Structure 1
């Protein structure tokens, strides 16, 4: 766990400046460890009775500012008068004199602990003894994406909602005051003050809520020990471990924050991004480039990893590309790169040439405004599902057409099976036990976006895909499959609710470039193994969602959604959700980007990254997951 360490010890040297690292790399918080213990210290404490005006520039503690999520742990004892409002510390805000950038203060007359943050004041109930007892007390304050939580003496926990009006890091400017900024100041000793750049639950160990007759049957999950408890007969009874433990403590890992790793600055709108590895050659990142009108072919881009950074490698011709898929086709073990062209009547299949070390055109397959290509393997043979979106009939678009599954015959893809779809945009293949399943996202039937999307299964007897279940969706653009603790889930990205009252439009402007800013709930479905059906599990409010991506950090499961609206925001927010058991998926992080069309997770050694394609700008971002 990376920490800003402010273990503060008494000394006559308190007026010394806190040393600043010679260089500060804001992309790696491990470079910003602040430790003043070795420079000031006496008997393991700061005695603010003797030193009541301890202050220093905030940038010497936080050269890059505090992240949006952090935890403060304070251990102290107070020898001052309890009937005085005073602060343990105060980070002033240069922009205003009336509100602190960050402060923790006592209000003993009202038995309140006051936290000031994000131009807001939070008042928490506090026991009387924390104000003037000579006993050492501990306060832990956690700020997350949407809440502030206080734990007092590892016994009571309270949470208040936080409304963020500014996501910029605080603490780059101003002055950090120990003991407060105005008289009366805090009088006593502080022997611990740690600020961690994450929502850290490890400071108190097991902090249990109250268990009595009123809370009988209540379940409580201890995040530190990963143990689930139940309130029974006024005592907490352990039910069991939520996650298995491992010798290398991998399950203790979680996503602390996200850091920009690289901006590819392609300056071209992109609809999809794909990372892949060719053994013996290198790691690649393919970017599907599209045009608004799609009138002429446009080169898509291929990057290669070189010394930890993505650098341009090759152009390959596409025509309003919507998706890219890489596969090692079997039989024959041939590296292929397949593109879904929305324009034209064919989509290209590129083959890796080990001599020239380039992708060269190998085959063109028949498509109709293709929006996605999904590869998978059954019994050692490669297949390719192409989502055909629409075809032109008498100068009008017909969305009720067949999408096609192709089979690799060892040298080429040949048509294998047609599947009826309605404005198909995405295919998602997944396996449950020995069964192969294929979900299609249907977005529009020519009249409405309220159409069913279908899950198919591969019938080993007929060797064809057959319908398993139809699910009502609202302009569905993406399916994502994932597992959590042995349970199977599907999440759909819904865009907008739209119904045309007359004839079908000649172009799907209301879906591809929708003007409605109204949110539409996207839905997570969970497999009911008894009925072999996916049942609604959780609804999440999204704005024109275009893509979901799932990933794990340690034993923690996450989802990130690409929101394409509302349009009046200069930067549109993609949100990261974390699975938290009985709380289901809760928002924990947000990323503001100018049009996130697609997310792609990949690993580089022990590090994980998310690459993002932008359909509104050329901002192709690579973001590192910091754990």
Structure 2
């Protein structure tokens, strides 16, 4: 792929590079020892002779680490991450960490009781630091306030015949000065995503869940307490921002509309739709020329017969909401992340499924022409 490939999304995205990935579930730009890297967890590899199914394949996979060199990403290493769903970079003092999450191990039958491994940078390498027993782990989120550091882990499934030997509910861990320890367990049964933010002197944590309410929590009396529900089922992601004197919260629901909500001083009220079923993840992009919201779409239909070739969107802020600026193709799209390199802006987009429901699908790097 070169920049002679036609632009998409109304000319806002110029295809720049393809990365060979399989079942990619996230993209994380991270600077390590002064060099830009892109970390890509992979959920599964295709198994020859196995019927196509989005929950099949070989889940004994690796986290791929690509390094930016001479204007391109090149393979730069890997870490074991079976059933890879997420990777998170954060720092505590001078220490740098990578937290990884995988949904399962095995090639069928699968085991959803996994270890969510946290790595620490030491001696120019990532070394295992702490393992958290997890069950169908999907996403980490790091946040801090008052000198305290927290890690939230979204996890769990509610399927008949799937036994949990590890803790099955989504939870929040806190740094005790030497390691992360359990702080609070939430009621969610099939966790997906988090968003922490501060607003009007209050601290909030938004939590998206597939089979339990996607819920907004507020910090009160030393714990997070529920204050608002957004949907009872099919929640995937939240994204908070402030613009033009207002506070806003975008919510993605894979089975219904993604909706932008506005803070009215007490709660977030629906403002307008961001698109129909399929929404899985957001990326917010601030530029000198404006504010943009990317909505990544995963599938429509059931896991037994999913439609994976969908159009994802870029929305442009117009002062009182978002207007559609363009669309671009994704294939089981899972994540997007904006980054800068060599004086230019880029957008990495992870794709996880081909139209015929196979896992070997490229992650795409676009140059942003905003």
TM-score category by the smaller chain?
A: 0.7 to 0.9
Tell me the residue number matched to 1:276.
30
Q: Is the 8 A contact 1:294 1:319 kept in 2?
A: no
Q: Is the 8 A contact 2:103 2:135 kept in 1?
A: yes
Compare the two structures and name the one with the higher strand fraction. 2
Tell me the residue number matched to 1:261.
16
Q: Matches of 1:411 and 1:551 in 2, distance apart?
A: 35
Q: Matches of 1:335 and 1:287 in 2, distance apart?
A: 18
* 1:362-511 correspondence to structure 2 within 5 Å: 362-390=129-157, 395=162, 402-445=169-212, 452-459=213-220, 462-496=221-255
SS in 1 for 2:362: coil
- How much has 1:271 moved relative to structure 2? 0.8
Q: Is the 8 A contact 2:2 2:16 kept in 1?
A: no
- How much has 1:401 moved relative to structure 2? 5.4
- How much has 1:299 moved relative to structure 2? 1.3
SS in 1 for 2:211: coil
Tell me the residue number matched to 1:560.
294
- How much has 1:310 moved relative to structure 2? 1.3
In 2 relative to 1, CA 306–605 (structure 1 residues): closer, same or farther, beyond 3 Å? closer
Gaps of 5+ in 1: 1-24, 28-63, 70-144, 146-255, 446-451, 497-519
Q: Matches of 2:270 and 2:218 in 1, distance apart?
A: 19
1:602 to 336, 339, 355: 339
* 1:336-355 correspondence to structure 2 within 5 Å: 336-343=97-104, 344-353=113-122, 355=123
Residue 612 (1) aligns with residue 359 (2): no
* 1:515-530 correspondence to structure 2 within 5 Å: 520-529=256-265
- How much has 1:392 moved relative to structure 2? 7.4
In 2 relative to 1, CA 65–312 (structure 1 residues): closer, same or farther, beyond 3 Å? closer
Tell me the residue number matched to 2:125.
358
Q: Deviations over 1:404-439 (max 9, x none)?
A: 111112321111111211311111112225432110
Compare the two structures and name the one with the higher helix fraction. 1
Q: Matches of 1:619 and 1:525 in 2, distance apart?
A: 33
Q: Is the 8 A contact 1:473 1:494 kept in 2?
A: no
In 2 relative to 1, CA 367–483 (structure 1 residues): closer, same or farther, beyond 3 Å? same
SS in 1 for 2:41: strand
Q: Matches of 2:58 and 2:5 in 1, distance apart?
A: 47
SS in 2 for 1:272: coil
In 2 relative to 1, CA 306–391 (structure 1 residues): closer, same or farther, beyond 3 Å? same
Tell me the residue number matched to 1:579.
317
Q: Is the 8 A contact 1:571 1:594 kept in 2?
A: yes
- How much has 1:542 moved relative to structure 2? 2.4
TM-score with structure 2 length normalisation?
Answer: 0.84
SS in 2 for 1:389: coil
TM-score with structure 1 length normalisation?
Answer: 0.51
SS in 1 for 2:17: strand
Q: Matches of 1:352 and 1:323 in 2, distance apart?
A: 18
306-315 vs 466-475, which moves further: 466-475
- How much has 1:572 moved relative to structure 2? 2.2
Q: Matches of 1:311 and 1:581 in 2, distance apart?
A: 40
Q: Matches of 1:262 and 1:586 in 2, distance apart?
A: 28
Tell me the residue number matched to 1:319.
82
Q: Matches of 1:392 and 1:473 in 2, distance apart?
A: 17
In 2 relative to 1, CA 380–68 (structure 1 residues): closer, same or farther, beyond 3 Å? closer
Q: Is the 8 A contact 2:299 2:308 kept in 1?
A: no
In 2 relative to 1, CA 473–550 (structure 1 residues): closer, same or farther, beyond 3 Å? farther
Gaps of 5+ in 2: 45-54, 105-112, 354-359
- How much has 1:395 moved relative to structure 2? 4.5
Q: Is the 8 A contact 2:248 2:260 kept in 1?
A: yes
Q: Is the 8 A contact 2:36 2:67 kept in 1?
A: yes
The number of equivalent residue pairs is 341
Q: Is the 8 A contact 1:564 1:597 kept in 2?
A: yes
* 1:19-38 correspondence to structure 2 within 5 Å: 27=3
SS in 2 for 1:538: strand
2:326 to 566, 577, 589: 589
Look at both structures and tell me which one has the larger radius of gyration over its CA atoms. 1
In 2 relative to 1, CA 368–569 (structure 1 residues): closer, same or farther, beyond 3 Å? closer
